[in-house]
Amino acid sequence: MYDKLLKTVTSLGSPRILLVGDFILDSYVYGDALRISPEAPVAVLKVIERKDSCGGAASVAADLATLGAKAICLGVIGNDSNGKVLCKLLEDLGADVSGLVKAGDRPTTNKQRMVGLAQHRHRQQLLRIDDESTEPLTPQQNEELINKYKEALKTVDIVCLQDYNKGVLSENICRQFVEIASKAGKRILVDPPMGSDYSKYTGACLITPNRQETSIAVGFDVKTIDDAKRAAAILAKKLKLEAVVVTLDRDGAFLHTSEYSEHLPTIPRNVYDVTGAGDMVLATLATVIAAGGDFASAVELSNIAGGIEVEKFGCATVSVEEIVNEIIVSRRGKSGKIHTLETLAHELDVHRHQKDKIVFTNGCFDVLHTGHIEYLKFCKDQGNIVVLGLNSDSSVKELKGPTRPINNQHDRAKVLSALESVDFIVIFDEPDPLATIMKVRPDILVKGEDWAEKGVIGREFVESLGGEVRLAKMIEGKSSTATIEKMQSENTENA
């Protein structure tokens, strides 16, 4: 699954996604909240910063843009200053806003959050002020939306409905959107609001209610995985859906299709703010499915993206690079840092795709000491990924003599793998690392400055690839040989 997820997320391309729903302007007022007002028992907010960002369906557009997709926006905003601000934010993301109908009879939905800071950090939302209308659209506005929808549908790969119950996705217009898309052979993904009746989404491809929304929709509490399984099956049958994805916060998600039902767990997170998590999930599902990914891969990747998002404040986006790094870190936790050249090559290909700079160094690292730690920190400072070529036991014996190494290659590798500055370790048998360097193909080759006159092995090869050699300053008196000799001398004196 690891290889499949990496291949999928790095091959998303730039799908065109018709995004229909409630476009919201999120406004934040940040300030220090260090005292209570003498006028009333409320916090006094001393303003430090004001910020506008995309919310609701606009948040999904931002997420889509970060994933490389093109959002074609369709909805209703007010003919007001907030509407202009929201359109500018969307245009700056590369979204197409020609489908946003400007209404004179309703405001652009705006959620203004007052956020208190203690010593300019530790953000805490104090108050939210909503300016909105949830009244049904006029017949003329509905007709304009349907006409724009039909026109946009010709050029997109998939459709998303992001329903916040603000009046745009009424029952009548929703049913029309589903029917029109079905006739055009386009899939519709739905992120529904809280409600007991989801019949207006009948015939869509996929729906993504969270635990609470699912509980209300099916009429019983979704507490366990078995509850989610039963609820997903009910929704799929009742609404004639290809798939149901019940998002289960800390428990990941449950995926139900006509072929299988599966619980897909997620990594436990330090949740900072759940705002926008559902938007990120919908955007990831849409992008992956539009790019040809299957439902299981789409849910796995949306689990990862949603998990990263809740560790951020507000409606935050998550990039492909962040998802890739999360997959790699998760994989590394299972496979460890110690690799053969064959398995290492695949890991490095992924990092090269992410434009990471690869650093290589090598050595015996027999008895670890301060000099080694500082040397490896120097290596890490030169790039993103440090590959350490470790001399095997036979190689060390050839270089250092029959009494070495003190610690075998497995123990040395295990100790080194605990260091944050080392990303990968590969053990080699040859007396020099040239063959390993030619397999790794590093951007940076690091050796100690004592190799300046001896000549750094692999220099010509690395430089032929456009890389370079950097020499690290050595700490005087710190070496495995000196440490071992000192230990032997003390043992002799104490004998």
Provide the annotated active-site residues.
279
Question: What stretches of 135-290 show up as alpha helix (H) in DSSP?
Answer: 139-153, 171-183, 211-218, 225-239, 277-290
The Cβ of residue 424 has, within 10 Å, a number of other Cβ atoms equal to 23
Give 125's strand partners: 115
The Cβ of residue 494 has, within 10 Å, a number of other Cβ atoms equal to 6
* Cα first-last separation, the chain: 58
Give yes or no for a contact between 19 and 348, defined as CB atoms under 8 angstroms apart: no
Where b means 16+ CB within 10 Å and e means fewer, 452-482 reads eeeebbbbeebeeeebebbebebeeeebbee
Where b means 16+ CB within 10 Å and e means fewer, 142-151 reads bebbeebbee
Give yes or no for a contact between 37 and 330, defined as CB atoms under 8 angstroms apart: no
Give every strand in the sheet of 188-191, ordered side by side.
Answer: 96-103, 70-78, 16-21, 158-162, 188-191, 206-207, 243-247, 253-257, 261-264
- CA 289 vs CA 62, 151, 265: distances in Å: 18, 22, 20
Measure the CA–CA gap between 266 and 329, rounded to whole angstroms: 14
Measure the CA–CA gap between 206 and 403, rounded to whole angstroms: 66
Nearest to 101 by CA among 188, 32, 21: 21
Measure the CA–CA gap between 178 and 214, rounded to whole angstroms: 21
